[in-house]
A and B are shown apart, each in its own frame.
Chain A
Amino acid sequence: KNEVEQSPQNLTAQEGEFITINCSYSVGISALHWLQQHPGGGIVSLFMLSSGKKKHGRLIATINIQEKHSSLHITASHPRDSAVYICAVALSETSGSRLTFGEGTQLTVNP
């Protein structure tokens, strides 16, 4: 069983829909990151959070430490949001801040 699991693996939506991607982890963490990998391969850090909720534009990330669960929401989705969204955690038992990654969610937003 992976330490970080994401769902769904693939998600197809119509433009304008509200998107939710989920991440569950089975170990103690210090922080959780949401990353976006573009079709060309580049990786962008979207959020880093250890509690509560963060919002940036149309993106919202939440985390529930007790339930070991985080969600990434995209409001008013757009075709340019099509990418792989990756949840990654910094485990509290490891030294430093190396990340352990989920398998990613492939999001396709159709016009």
Chain B
Amino acid sequence: GEEVAQTPKHLVRGEGQKAKLYCAPIKGHSYVFWYQQVLKNEFKFLISFQNENVFDETGMPKERFSAKCLPNSPCSLEIQATKLEDSAVYFCASSQAGGSYNEQFFGPGTRLTVL
């Protein structure tokens, strides 16, 4: 597609439940990034992929967060046993190639609310 698609738009989970978010990058883009926006303007990098391979996972909380990008499927970000502090907007971005000089295109985000 021409835009990064993210589903669902909103997700509400009780504390301890699982949450799974999806991202379809722009067709032809080989890099996918996940960012977490907590509060209004605090962004945190989580993980990036080069095609189906993890490229950089230094931002991932290892205990409860996992992510995948499988061929011919949307990428996913899964949170096991959600906590209140996981409430945030999760943005996916894609870029045509890696390296620092490639523009990242952002999806509309998934707002996760943990009650």
Interface residues of A (CB under 8 A from B): 29-31, 33, 35, 41-45, 48, 50, 84, 86, 88, 90, 92, 94-101, 103-104
Q: Is the interface of B mostly helix, strand, loop or mixed?
A: strand
**How many residue-residue contacts, CB under 8 A, span A and B?**
76
Chain A residues with CB under 8 A of B104:
33, 45, 97, 99
Q: Is the interface of A mostly helix, strand, loop or mixed?
A: strand
- Provide the bound-state CA to CA distance between A63 and B109, in Å: 29
* A72 to B: closest C-beta gap in Å: 15
**Given known A-B contacts A99-B45, A101-B43, A45 and B31 have beta carbons under 8 A apart:** no
Q: Is the CB of B109 within 8 A of A98?
A: no
**Given known A-B contacts A31-B100, A48-B101, A98 and B106 have beta carbons under 8 A apart:** no
Interface residues of B (CB under 8 A from A): 31, 33, 35, 40-43, 45, 48, 50, 55-56, 58-59, 89, 91, 95, 98-106, 108-109, 111
* B94 to A: closest C-beta gap in Å: 11
- Provide the bound-state CA to CA distance between A86 and B42, in Å: 10
